[in-house]
């Protein structure tokens, strides 16, 4: 009886050692497979970014400094609101990143100023009397300048139009 108990104990111990080895080997194989998968992915993605997208990635990381062109004199337009004459004075600056493109747009300054005078004079006083109205006018101005730049230069050129001074009376 004692021999049978001893043999049963050895039988239960032996399979546990064998199962433990299988589990350790399976876990090790799984870890190796994960590491190889991560390394292969990093190698493939790292190589494609450095080869084909090197320039756009560098351009996006190192943005060119802003260049400002102040449009002088300030724009002064008049319009009527409820029968009263109203005046709007706007000082405008153009923000761009490429000096050559901005210089190409400045050649068309009379057309640009005409377009902005027409835009400013077509506004309603009640709409401009709020901060939201002034912001909307700034966005309309940016769009108008970019459309003119697309027509004349072939690129939007101007990243943003800035109002440095707005006076309404």
Q: Please answer whether residues 127 and 136 qualify as being in contact, where contact means their C-beta atoms are separated by less than 8 angstroms.
A: yes
162: closest CA among 86, 66, 82, 76? Answer: 66
Is the pLDDT confidence value at 100 over 60? yes
The residue to which tokens 């640009």 are assigned: 112
- pTM score, two decimals? 0.62
What average pLDDT does range 139-159 have in this prediction?
Answer: 93
Q: Please answer whether residues 54 and 48 qualify as being in contact, where contact means their C-beta atoms are separated by less than 8 angstroms.
A: no
Phi, psi of 167 (to 5 degrees): -125, 130
Pairing of strands 84-96, 158-168: antiparallel
**Domain 67-168 classification at class level:** alpha beta
pLDDT value of residue 110:
95
165: closest CA among 114, 92, 115? Answer: 92
Highest-confidence segment of 23-37, 81-95, 136-150: 136-150
Query: Domain extents for the chain?
Result: 2-60, 67-168
Of the pLDDT bands very low, low, confident and very high (cuts 50, 70, 90), residue 11 is: low
Of the pLDDT bands very low, low, confident and very high (cuts 50, 70, 90), residue 57 is: very low
What average pLDDT does range 48-59 have in this prediction?
Answer: 51
166: closest CA among 143, 140, 135, 139? Answer: 135
């Amino acid at each position: 009886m004692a021999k049978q108990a001893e043999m049963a104990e050895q039988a239960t111990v032996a399979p546990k050692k064998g199962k433990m080895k299988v589990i350790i080997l399976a876990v090790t194989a799984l870890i190796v497979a994960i590491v190889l998968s991560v390394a292969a992915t990093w190698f493939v993605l790292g190589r494609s970014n450095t080869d084909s997208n090197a320039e756009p990635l560098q351009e996006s990381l190192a943005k060119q400094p802003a260049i400002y062109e102040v449009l002088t004199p300030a724009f002064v337009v008049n319009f009527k609101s409820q029968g009263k004459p109203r005046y709007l004075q706007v000082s405008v600056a153009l923000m761009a990143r490429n000096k050559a493109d901005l210089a190409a747009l400045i050649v068309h300054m009379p057309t640009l100023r005409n377009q902005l005078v027409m835009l400013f004079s077509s506004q309603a006083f009640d709409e401009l009397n709020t901060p939201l109205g002034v912001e909307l006018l700034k966005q309309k101005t940016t769009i108008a300048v970019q459309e003119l730049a697309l027509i004349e230069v072939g690129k939007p050129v101007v990243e943003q139009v800035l109002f440095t001074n707005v006076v309404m009376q």
